[in-house]
Amino acid sequence: MWSPLHIVRLKGQTPGLRRHAAALLKWCRDANVSSFSHSAARSSKTCQALVYTNHGDPSKVLQLKNVDLPPIGEKDVLVKLLAAPINPSDINMIQGTYAILPDLPSIGGNEGVGKILDIGKQVKSLKAGDWVIPRDAGLGTWRTEAVLAEEDVISVPNDIPLLSAATLGVNPCTAFRMLSDFEDLMPGDSVIQNAANSGVGQAVIQIAAAKGINTINVVRDRPEFTQLSERLKAMGATHVIKEEALRRPEIKEVFKSCPKPKLALNGVGGRSATELLRHLQIGGSMVTYGGMSKQPVTVPVSALIFKDVKVRGFWVTQWKRDHSHDGSLFGAMLDELCSLIRQGKLTAPSCTQVALQDFHQALDASMQPFISSKQVLLL
């Protein structure tokens, strides 16, 4: 874990996280100090961190604080955090509405990249200078430095762009798994998705294009729709259409140049998801990974009876935990994604880089509608 602050008690924790959390709790109790006030005898360094002691509006409950770092254990590493994005799940976690919530007080951020500065005597898989990203969610990446257990991070190449590494662990992994695990997609096949301008949506476009798979990309209407459409097509999108076009006859023109989709990816819910279902092939799958509209998914009876569609869900955090016993699959996925990055076939989403002390500005921007740029904290 990103210790000492972020003691996360979550169902399905890896053994390493549970041991580390238990050790930190015991340390705090034995020392008779709060997790924010370790004595100088127990810690020789401090870092800056975005801390919240209660759930609520992130702009109101987050505070930038100086936090003591614990000593480096024999199986720990000291990491200098380099960059960490602000994702919707980060906001929801601080608001107290996410599926997993850490104990409070806590540090914000679930994703990011750091550089190892020092290692414990028994660390075998990592060395100083390596770049690492979290293996799991809920670790608190919005801080300048952290002491982590070796088993709670995984190395990534340090020859890829910083922003690509900082945004690698959530959205590209979500896109990769959804394109791989639900339908046997071959070159020439089609995928339809809403929220195509999201981080996941942009990753889907690029990974699919690299595999020769068509993408039909649905976005909400907006003043700059033409510019957005051109940008997504430059990434590899086959078609970019507005939400309302799904319900109009012109959608038939799309399927003159590519087959009906085998797979639909839903990050919105509500009516948008229902419309995706209507255009699936017989026996196709719709996978829901988000619900930005906050509306339920309604499945037409006809889609179930006459098209035998499959309605599934996906959460990358659960996938990582389900495969935590064997890191080879996670590592192989990261290797393939990083190969695409090196080839210029997978780029980070449009990002706005913001200094840590300007976090209020980044939070406000990340919560605006039709936001086209991901906010990334430079640490």
Q: What is the DSSP letter of 370?
A: T
**Residue 149's closest CA among 116, 100, 104?**
116
State the CB neighbour count (10 A cutoff) for residue 166. 29
**Residues 213 and 192 grouped into a single domain:** yes
**pLDDT-based confidence at residue 236 (cuts at 50, 70, 90):** very high
**Residues 92 and 181 grouped into a single domain:** no
Report strand pairing: 214-219 vs 190-193: parallel
Out of 12-26, 306-320, 350-364, least confident range: 12-26
Considering 2, 52, 98, 182, which one is annotated as catalytic?
A: 98
Q: How many whole angstroms separate alpha carbon 164 and alpha carbon 168? A: 6
Concerning whether 289 is annotated as a catalytic residue, the answer is no
Q: Tell me, yes or no, whether 147 lies in a domain.
A: yes
**Residues 242 and 277 grouped into a single domain:** yes
**Residue 142's closest CA among 91, 203, 200, 198?**
91
What is the separation of C-alpha 267 from the centre of its chain, rounded to a whole number of angstroms? 13
**Residues 205 and 284 grouped into a single domain:** yes
What number of H helices and E strands is found in the chain? 13, 16
Q: Tell me, yes or no, whether 323 lies in a domain.
A: no
Q: How many whole angstroms separate alpha carbon 140 and alpha carbon 133? A: 12
Residue 61 clears pLDDT 80, i.e. is over it? yes
Q: What is the DSSP letter of 103?
A: P
What is the tens place of the pLDDT at every residue in 64-113? Answer: 999 999 999 999 999 999 999 999 999 999 999 999 999 999 999 999 99
| Residue-wise burial string across 40-75, b where 16 or more C-beta atoms lie within 10 A, e elsewhere | eeeeeeebbbbbbeebeebeebbeebebbbbebbeb
**Residues 311 and 372 grouped into a single domain:** no
Q: Give the chain's length.
A: 379
In the block, residue with structure tokens 């839903």: 266
**Residues 56 and 77 grouped into a single domain:** yes
**Residues 205 and 286 grouped into a single domain:** yes
pLDDT at 20: 38
pLDDT at 8: 41
pLDDT at 294: 86
pLDDT at 106: 96
**pLDDT-based confidence at residue 244 (cuts at 50, 70, 90):** confident
The pTM of the whole model exceeds 0.85:
yes
Q: How many whole angstroms separate alpha carbon 308 and alpha carbon 379? A: 49
Q: How many whole angstroms separate alpha carbon 121 and alpha carbon 278? A: 58
Q: Give the CATH number for residue 293.
A: 3.40.50.720
Residue 238, C-beta contacts closer than 8 angstroms, at least 6 positions apart: 190, 214, 215, 216, 217, 257, 258
Q: How many whole angstroms separate alpha carbon 12 and alpha carbon 102? A: 13
**pLDDT-based confidence at residue 221 (cuts at 50, 70, 90):** confident
**Residues 179 and 312 grouped into a single domain:** yes
What is the tens place of the pLDDT at every residue in 302-346? Answer: 999 999 999 999 999 999 999 988 878 999 999 999 999 999 999
Report the domain count for the chain.
2
Coil vs helix vs strand at 177: helix
Average pLDDT over residues 251-270: 93
**pLDDT-based confidence at residue 44 (cuts at 50, 70, 90):** low
For residues 169 and 330, the answer to whether their CB atoms sit within 8 Å is no
The structure tokens listed for 186 are: 């071959």
**Residues 108 and 210 grouped into a single domain:** no
**Residues 185 and 307 grouped into a single domain:** yes
Domain containing residue 71:
46-167+348-378
Q: How many whole angstroms separate alpha carbon 155 and alpha carbon 165? A: 10
Q: Among 318, 337, 363, where does a domain finish?
A: 318
Residue 230, C-beta contacts closer than 8 angstroms, at least 6 positions apart: none
Q: How many whole angstroms separate alpha carbon 313 and alpha carbon 361? A: 33
**Residue 132's closest CA among 122, 100, 118, 289?**
118
Q: In the chain, what percentage of residues exceed pLDDT 70?
A: 88
**Residues 257 and 137 grouped into a single domain:** no
**pLDDT-based confidence at residue 270 (cuts at 50, 70, 90):** very high
Q: Tell me, yes or no, whether 325 lies in a domain.
A: no
Q: Tell me, yes or no, whether 17 lies in a domain.
A: no
Residue 9 clears pLDDT 60, i.e. is over it? no
Q: How many alpha carbons fall within 13 Å on the CB side of residue 123? A: 26
Q: Among 276, 297, 318, where does a domain finish?
A: 318
What is the tens place of the pLDDT at every residue in 186-213? Answer: 999 999 999 999 999 999 999 999 999 9
Q: How many whole angstroms separate alpha carbon 313 and alpha carbon 331? A: 23
